[in-house]
Structure 1
């Protein structure tokens, strides 16, 4: 499949950042509200996490076009902002500026496969914020029943996100030993696109629309309940319950 351009990722990221900024006042009023898909997290933790991600990505982008590698995550000297919500507003602006000022074609460290280019971070930050914008929507819905998520997640964007996960992140987690390779091959299908995870004969298939597939794989939707499945649901379910996402 054709990957979205870095410009498209930047536009979608802007939508997600605006969404999270627009609803930040409500989150600030209920900072201890839990985040359903992230056990142990509150909205305060969610915004603090994103600020930490922003700082690390900005530091990484500063090395684009050089042979330098960024400091290991968590070892930069910058202190966390005392208020996670104010920190998010500041760091999100800085992140967007850094991405806008970076040529996506420059060599840049990333945890994806070669070629390692700055474009990796345009895509990764788009997907990171799409998923966490969904977290915000789910968390605040009890306080704001009329809330509608407005991140405008298109099928094309969702398919690119599924590709990032199944073509890059999951294989990487299998290689690192974080996730066991499924006992047999599994097929995932959405909008005419398909991905096979595992080796050997396909023993189970899962089919749904791109948005449900993306959010379901990231455990923001009950994927097995919403999708059409065929074959060995036990093998499929075991894989989906493994650590395919952080």
Structure 2
């Protein structure tokens, strides 16, 4: 996916998240994030949008410290202002990314073709996952993520987010998980071991094989769907390990 395609996803998913929040009590629990109410989810995502937008608009080349980040966020919105506050931050982020120069230089935390490509992709998937959370809180079933962005999101999670040194997804002995999308080419072969996750783009026997549509695998790997949403063959205890440790804080 190119930058424009990621921005289209960010635009759509943020709008759907806001629509779900507007139709729901801010005190509604979020089933997919058991420690959160809907207001917590919306505030979190809105703050992430403002945080990401600051790197794009201000060209920060190092991570912002806690005081600078808190200053970006400002006071927490009231329940009455929550959705409008979210929409404003989402619109500002989209405008920042759409107006940024191709040679943008700023801090990132995953490999990418460019900082602009990184932030467009990361915020598209941040927002898509939390759109699903907001709809879960609202008791809604919105449109599913299309195949191409779902495949892209699986790749970002496996080869990016969970491959970082800080990941908690570890095992004393190497164990493998194959992820096969029925609506896309190729297979991700992930090895969980004492070191950070390693991923190869090849098909091979694995301790656990997950097969299904990309949109379902995407949400399953982000711990948003139950394991029975896809076909699971092999050591299902690996799914328990995944659900416990493949969490992004």
Q: TM-score range by the shorter chain?
A: 0.7 to 0.9
Q: Which residue of 1 aligns with 2:220?
A: 216
Seen in structure 2, the aligned counterparts of structure 1 residues 32 and 57 have a Cα distance that, compared at 3 Å, is: same
Contact 2:135 2:142 in 1 (8 A): yes
Q: Does 1:42 align with 2:45?
A: no
CA–CA distance in 2 between the matches of 1:177 and 1:25?
A: 34
- The alpha-carbon deviation at position 56 of structure 1 amounts to 0.5
Task: Report the counterpart of residue 229 of structure 1 in structure 2.
Answer: 232
Take 2:112 and 2:247, find their aligned partners in 1: how far apart are those partners?
Answer: 21
Tell me the equivalent position of 2:168: 178
Structure 1: runs of 5 or more not aligned: 142-146
Is residue 2:182 matched to residue 1:202?
A: no
Task: Give the corresponding residue for 1:144.
Answer: none
CA spacing shift, 1:24–1:185, aligned 2, 3 Å: closer
Measured against aligned partners, the alpha-carbon deviations of 1:102-153 in whole angstroms (never above 9, x if no partner) come to 1355332111036552211101111111111111111111xxxxx4413x52
1:34 to partner: Cα distance: 0.5
User: How far has the Cα of 1:97 moved from its partner?
Assistant: 1.1
CA RMSD of aligned residues (A): 2.3
Q: 1:226 to 1:245 in 2, by over 3 A?
A: same
SS in 2 for 1:198: strand
Q: Where do 1:48-197 residues align within 5 Å? A: 48-64=43-59, 68-72=61-65, 75-76=68-69, 77-78=71-72, 79-83=74-78, 84-113=82-111, 117-141=115-139, 147-150=140-143, 153-172=145-164, 175-181=165-171, 183-190=174-181, 191-197=184-190
SS in 2 for 1:23: helix
Shift of 1:163: 0.2
Q: Answer whether contact 2:210 2:231 (CA < 8 A) is retained.
A: yes
For residues 192 and 244 of structure 2, the distance between their equivalents in structure 1, rounded to whole angstroms, comes to 19
| CA distances 1:147-186 after superposition (whole Å, capped 9, x unpaired) | 4413x521111000000001111111xx225221473122
Deviations 1:174-205 (A, max 9, x none): x2252214731221111332111116973221
TM-score under structure 2 normalisation? 0.82
Q: Normalization by structure 1: what TM-score? A: 0.83
Of 31-40 and 158-167, the range deviating more from structure 2: 31-40
Are the counterparts in 2 of residues 48 and 88 from structure 1 also a CA contact under 8 Å? yes
Q: 2: CA distance between counterparts of 1:244 and 1:195?
A: 19
Q: Using a 3 Å threshold, how does the CA distance of structure 1 residues 20 and 236 change in structure 2: closer, same or farther?
A: closer
Partner-residue secondary structure (3-state), 1:118: helix
The answer as to whether partners of 1:186 and 1:196 remain within 8 angstroms in 2 is yes
Q: Is the 8 A contact 2:176 2:189 kept in 1?
A: yes
Q: CA 1:39–1:241 in 2, change beyond 3 Å: closer, same or farther?
A: same
Q: Is the 8 A contact 1:34 1:139 kept in 2?
A: yes
> 233-242 or 9-18, which moves further after superposition?
233-242
Are the counterparts in 2 of residues 81 and 87 from structure 1 also a CA contact under 8 Å? no
